[in-house]
């Protein structure tokens, strides 16, 4: 159970990503109906637009966005990876060129921490570097140790008591670097711990091997957060390794490209076979897309580029992952999670599962 000033969240839980203060196409009420417990925002983007002052004057990120549940803000560490062509790293922090107007901004651990305090999310992340998976050992070693020093600086200035601060374990695919990062991060001491630097180009087998070596060693009484996974099979696999929280843009991104997650696998509604398929996306799913429309109509919306299509598919995909986590929680309590997970993965991968999640 994740406890925050804006409510408790049962774990494991999938967290939809609202990078700029909005999960694309979905209102807060729809997110709540979809089963979302925590919504993410991104400090890099919110700092640049609309700016932390505007958010503070609005009463904080919750009041500004209309979402009254728990919120988490990423520090901008992922942008160190994704925007590597327009940033410069130093011991002091990261100098970014704005993706909006080309202006230059210096993100230090202290600035990022205070910005997140001003934004007012329930959970803030330390500033870290997320290197590409194929970076050499020496690069990962230097990056990991700098991230550890940045994390200590973040903690030193973080004084908002109603906001949790999470540390991040880095180290790439190197077991010794991961072990060192884990030790240093836990010794610094945080309210929760994230596993970063994965889902950035490595194989699924490599990802699971690293995660399997890190997650069980993190403090059992603190939340464990895997940064950046949202496919159903991956979600089930990281839950099995002890992860409590995870996020990804995948469900809404797939929706904008006409794809839906179902118990029998991902389906692409641009495929001609769905033009005359009058069944719901997922039998028994309570979302508006499934309870009110057929695959044929949704496929029509997708082909015509109608915004309603992307919105309905986003709602369905977020609902699907929320329900998947709900079923996972039930089977963890029942003690048969491993067998249930294996069955679900086999059926999802083979495309033979039918009807509602079992």
Q: Give pLDDT tens digits for 226-269.
A: 999 999 999 999 999 999 999 999 999 999 999 999 998 999 99
The pLDDT of residue 271 is above 70: yes
Does residue 92 have an active-site annotation?
Answer: no
* pLDDT band, residue 96 (cuts 50/70/90): confident
Higher-pLDDT residue of 89 and 354 is: 89
Q: Specify whether the backbone of 94 is left (phi greater than 0), alpha (psi in -120 to 50) or beta.
A: beta
Q: pLDDT (tens digit, 9 = 90+) per residue, 173-213?
A: 999 999 999 999 999 999 999 999 999 889 999 999 999 99
What CATH architecture applies to the domain 2-248?
Answer: Alpha-Beta Barrel (3.20)
Q: Measuring CA to CA, which residue among 72, 59, 17, 7 is closest to residue 255?
A: 17
Q: Which two tokens stand for residue 258?
A: 């006409």
Residue 350 scores a pLDDT above 90: no
* pTM, 2 dp: 0.94
Catalytic residue among 92, 221, 247, 336: 247
Degrees to nearest 5, angle at CA 21 with 299 and 7: 100
Q: What is the pLDDT of residue 353?
A: 39
Question: Would you give the end-to-end CA distance of the chain in angstroms?
Answer: 23
74 is catalytic: yes
Instruction: Name which of 152, 189, 193, 192 is nearest 169 in CA terms.
Output: 193
Active-site residue among 68, 74, 231, 277?
Answer: 74
Give the distance between the most distant pair of CA atoms in the chain. Answer: 60
User: pLDDT tens digit string along 40-63?
Assistant: 999 999 999 999 999 999 999 999
pLDDT for 81 equals 61
Domain extents for the chain? 2-248, 254-350
Closest CA to 317 of 35, 71, 41: 35
User: Given the DSSP bridges, would you call strands 164-169 and 192-195 parallel, antiparallel or unpaired?
Assistant: parallel
């Amino acid at each position: 159970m994740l406890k925050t000033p804006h409510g408790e969240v049962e774990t494991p839980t999938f967290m939809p990503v609202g990078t700029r203060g909005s999960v694309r196409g979905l209102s807060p009420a729809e997110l709540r109906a979809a089963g979302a417990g925590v919504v993410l925002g991104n400090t890099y983007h919110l700092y640049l637009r609309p700016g932390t002052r505007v958010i503070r004057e609005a009463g904080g990120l919750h009041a500004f966005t209309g979402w009254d549940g728990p919120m988490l803000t990423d520090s901008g560490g992922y942008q160190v990876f994704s925007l590597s062509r327009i940033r410069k790293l130093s011991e002091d922090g990261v100098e970014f060129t704005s993706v909006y107007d080309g202006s230059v901004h210096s993100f230090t651990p202290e600035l990022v921490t205070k910005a997140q305090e001003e934004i007012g999310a329930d959970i803030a992340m330390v500033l870290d570097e997320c290197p590409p998976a194929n970076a050499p050992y020496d690069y990962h070693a230097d990056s990991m140790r700098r991230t550890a020093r940045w994390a200590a600086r973040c903690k030193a200035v973080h004084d908002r008591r109603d906001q949790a601060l999470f540390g991040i374990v880095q180290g790439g695919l190197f077991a010794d670097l991961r072990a060192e990062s884990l030790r240093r991060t836990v010794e610094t001491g945080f309210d929760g711990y994230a596993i970063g630097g994965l889902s950035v180009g490595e194989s699924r087998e490599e990802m699971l091997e690293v995660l399997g070596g890190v997650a069980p060693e993190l403090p059992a009484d603190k939340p464990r957060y895997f940064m950046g996974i949202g496919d159903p099979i991956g979600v089930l696999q990281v839950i099995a390794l002890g992860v409590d929280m995870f996020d990804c843009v995948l469900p809404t991104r797939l929706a904008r490209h006409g794809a839906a997650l179902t118990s029998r696998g991902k389906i692409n509604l641009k495929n001609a076979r769905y033009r005359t398929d009058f069944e719901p996306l997922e039998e028994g799913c309570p979302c508006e897309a499934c309870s009110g429309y057929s695959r044929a109509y949704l496929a029509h919306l997708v082909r015509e580029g109608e915004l309603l299509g992307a919105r309905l598919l986003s709602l369905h995909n977020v609902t699907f992952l929320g329900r998947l986590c709900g079923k996972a929680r039930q089977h963890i309590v029942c003690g048969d999670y491993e067998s249930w997970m294996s069955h679900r993965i086999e059926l999802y991968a083979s495309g033979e599962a039918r009807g509602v999640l079992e």
